[in-house]
Chain A
């Protein structure tokens, strides 16, 4: 009876309070021009669990779940499925895919300054005072086979209004801006098995699609090195055609290389392209992983496993990679089972683990904060 009573007393509903950030000391303070980085955690679809974490180099502290504390009055917090993150000017742009919006935050306080509604928004890049965002949700065409092209939205970063849109291919993912053109990786991910296989090229000045460059099916990432070579990844069809990396030279306007290296996430740092991947093997019925570095000068794979201390065995699903442009520390995230909190691993430039910490669910997108760095 007393047991029952105690159950009844302790079992009542409480008012749910907003989440306060959790500060986890993980490393010695470090002082460079880079103050910290934000890590956007996607959260499982329908769970409304996109969260923002921050690493503070000066304090050596990892700060988990900072959005609600900075924005306590925003109903239902950040939203559903964080898909991309970028810093431009004084703002941090968080692309929240299934909440159909971009939250524009102050890059230091994380207080929400604006919201840009774009349905099914995917990735963001910036150039010349504008933000460019890909979206799967172009206008609907009356068509018995129902096809819906995606588009790129052009956003004025002063007014935070969409001022123009440009139709591209089906389900456009990443985009890159180089040499006065926007290159958009069309995936066609909703069109299985009829994937897209092109990059769309949009002229920045006219904001019109100029042409399509065939690369490979189901394109995902596109990053430009400082020689104007685009590093484009294809997800493959998950069966017979495997995930690969392609190099497209924007100056020569031709495909210059393809490298057999599956890709989940890419990070370009100087001449090094860091690639992590998870590839399902129908032979072993398990995931196979790789942590590769490709030298963008020689197009050679210079490392097959940049994690040198065996920590890779602890990682369940390597999901994203980032590199500190100054210290060259390498960050790898583990998405685990997609529904549990993930982990962030920090390695030094030699691939030896420095620390690891629990993150939000599906830690995936990095943005470094600091002076004199290319904030994408």
Chain B
């Protein structure tokens, strides 16, 4: 304990000497808390960390919510989706099971307004705009950050300005200690749902400046788990109670990632290749008389991406990103009692980006970013439009710092051109071309009134839109070529308070709270269309107003006997109302009703205890009552759900090799619940994890 405090103080000192800028202190406190919270890190590693942070020329005007290192490891999370549930303001739509679709929604603005970035470059899905975070394993992820509005750091690509909220996934960068040239990590996970999940990572130092990493993972699960539905009489006795096993949830997936990382004087670069392939059953909705389904899905995602960043002069810094990706999706409904569906989709994307930062004065920077993107979608659908999209994004941003005051403003200019040609039986029946130009602004402010006190007041305004997806525009029958973008406007005020107390029980406190008002206009929703059952048309008719509060708190305690306790709390209140249809008010109407699946109250508690080589983690997630449509009637009501997860791990030192053995119990109290109507979630489940570091 004493050692870590010494390290902390030493680091603090180094840091303050190296850079007296106010903003840096903030990172300092975080880093120290992180270091203390993570227990034993050797001093070299830690100081390197701090220095890396210290050299970072900017810090975000409004910092992210972040999960890193041990904290992330302790969360009993299999995928990125499980982990982001701990962020304030986030709602996860989870269809259950290892292979179930998991998408997130920040501050009730809808999944399509979320950007997801993998090592600095956005993961796109021009087809439906949704990124399934359940597909992203935490195995190779080192940090997850969530930004509301945008990352308020101007030196970034134009795409970083282009979403209403952004999640950044940062994969592990090779680090070598004590003259090592190779790191090898092997892990194996097994447990409930027939899970078999081995993974391997190899890091190799090619030269002083270049290193290589290779990571591969295989996941198999039967996806079988018990679920239970029941109803009671009003006197409390049981009316019906039924337990069954979830079927058709089998998952098999492979992931391969290889990366090259380089540093040079005043710069760095990396290149990476990613391949993911999966086949899975779609367990489907559990309805009366139908307890299993037969639908299957095959996905494969491949991308190559690279980034190069260099400071050419004291005033000019440049970044270049490029990506090519190809995604394949195959959906099969072989159920002979239903409509036979066998559809295949291929998406291609080419992306090029450059960001240029020029320092006008010491405290005044300007950035110009230009991105170009090309998307295409091919499908085995009759009457499909085979769209191609060209997008040019230009972002002009400036940042100014004056004493404790920081301001950033940005303008994003988006040009989109879509071309499609609908074909029936090989004949082109209609060509379309659609142009769109939009300019959208954002302003971020923060103010630290007292230099000696880590209290930051902050505010932001942002207006952004999401493009209609290819499905919205061109999907056979329901697509609507005349769609306009859907706008999200956000206002946010809040504060962040940080205290580093390097004595006594308390190591540090961090507290933040934000109040926000968002409105969504021209929301793209499916409107019933014409004769016949269940036919829809996508229309820009929705309108939503969201008022919310996000609160998060973190504290680290140095308990006696070298025990370190780290506690994180988050709480979200959201009143997300549907203003789409003013005439549908009163008696079971949707007007001003709480949006589908948005709870008024939600939150989480995470406690992490470390004692020498032993870790204990407890996490609790709470999602309050909700309705599954914005008609808030008793038939549409959904009960709150909350799960308690527990994990414990011990690190064994076997010569130079380290072995960490952990066990997890998730949903400790075996609560049977649905996140999405009729998609049952697993009850109590277990996992055993073995991790070798060689």
Contact = CB atoms under 8 A, between A and B. Distances in A.
Interface centre among B242, B336, B531, B677 (most CB of A within 10 A): B531
Contact of B232 (A4, A18, A285): A18
Given A46-B678, A279-B530, A11 B288 contact: no
Contacts of B671: 13
Interface string A273-307: 00001111000010100000000000000000000
B289 A193 contact: no
Nearest to B571: A4
A279 B230 CA distance: 41
A80 B531 CA distance: 21
Interface stretch (B112-120, B245-253, B626-634): B626-634
B673 to A, nearest CB: 8
Contacts of B383: 193
Nearest to B236: A15
A68 B337 CA distance: 27
Contact of B588 (A17, A75, A146, A341): A341
B629 A339 contact: yes
Interface string B365-401: 0000000000000000011000000000000000000
Given A16-B639, A19-B635, A72 B424 contact: no
B285 A340 contact: no
B472 to A, nearest CB: 14
A45 B534 contact: yes
B624 interface: yes
A66 to B, nearest CB: 13
Interface in B389-424: 424
A280 B472 CA distance: 17
A117 B289 CA distance: 9
Contacts of B561: none
Contacts of B232: 15-18
B590 A340 contact: yes
B639 A79 contact: no
Contacts of A192: 382
A98 interface: yes
Given A46-B287, A117-B289, A278 B588 contact: no
A107 to B, nearest CB: 21
Interface in B207-266: 229-234, 236, 239-240, 242
Given A17-B232, A18-B239, A80 B635 contact: no
Contacts of B635: 19, 49, 51, 65, 341, 360-361
Interface in B557-606: 571, 583-584, 587-590, 601
Contacts of B588: 340-341, 358
Contact of A137 (B240, B337, B480, B531): B337
Given A47-B678, A358-B588, A235 B532 contact: yes
Interface in A188-244: 189-190, 192-193, 220, 235-236, 238, 243
A351 interface: no
A353 interface: no
Contacts of A65: 635
Given A7-B601, A337-B527, A79 B584 contact: no
Contacts of A75: 229, 240, 242, 288
B657 interface: no
A236 B530 CA distance: 11
Contacts of B529: 278, 280, 287
A278 B531 contact: yes
Interface string B616-647: 00000010110011110111000111100000
B287 A76 contact: yes
Interface in A286-345: 287, 314, 316-317, 335-341
Nearest to B535: A238
A120 B336 CA distance: 10
Contacts of A18: 231-233, 239
Given A48-B678, A146-B340, A335-B528, A80 B287 contact: yes
A186 interface: no
A16 to B, nearest CB: 6
B338 interface: yes
A5 B559 CA distance: 27
Contacts of B339: 136, 190
Nearest to A262: B531
Interface in A95-116: 96, 98-101, 115
Contacts of A278: 528-531
B114 to A, nearest CB: 23
A72 B622 contact: no
A33 B532 CA distance: 34
A74 B530 CA distance: 35
A4 B569 CA distance: 12
Nearest to B634: A19
Contact of B337 (A136, A236, A287): A136
A12 interface: yes
A124 interface: no
Given A45-B534, A78-B288, A137-B337, A72 B240 contact: yes
B337 A119 contact: yes
Interface in A158-195: 189-190, 192-193
Contact of B340 (A68, A115, A190, A238): A190
Contacts of A317: 528
B233 A17 contact: yes
Contacts of A361: 635
A134 interface: no
Contact of B584 (A48, A117, A336): A336
Nearest to B340: A146
B21 interface: no
B42 interface: no
A367 interface: no
B409 to A, nearest CB: 36
A20 interface: yes
B363 interface: no
A238 B530 contact: yes
Nearest to B590: A340
23 contacts: A13-B639, A14-B639, A19-B634, A79-B289, A80-B290, A117-B289, A119-B337, A136-B337, A137-B336, A137-B337, A148-B336, A220-B532, A235-B531, A238-B531, A277-B531, A278-B530, A279-B530, A280-B529, A280-B530, A285-B482, A287-B528, A340-B631, A358-B588
Given A47-B287, A100-B289, A192-B382, 4 more contacts: A16-B230, A76-B242, A101-B288, A263-B531
Interface of A: 4, 7, 11-20, 45-49, 51, 65, 68, 72-80, 96, 98-101, 115, 117, 119-120, 136-137, 140, 146, 148, 189-190, 192-193, 220, 235-236, 238, 243, 262-264, 277-280, 285, 287, 314, 316-317, 335-341, 358, 360-361
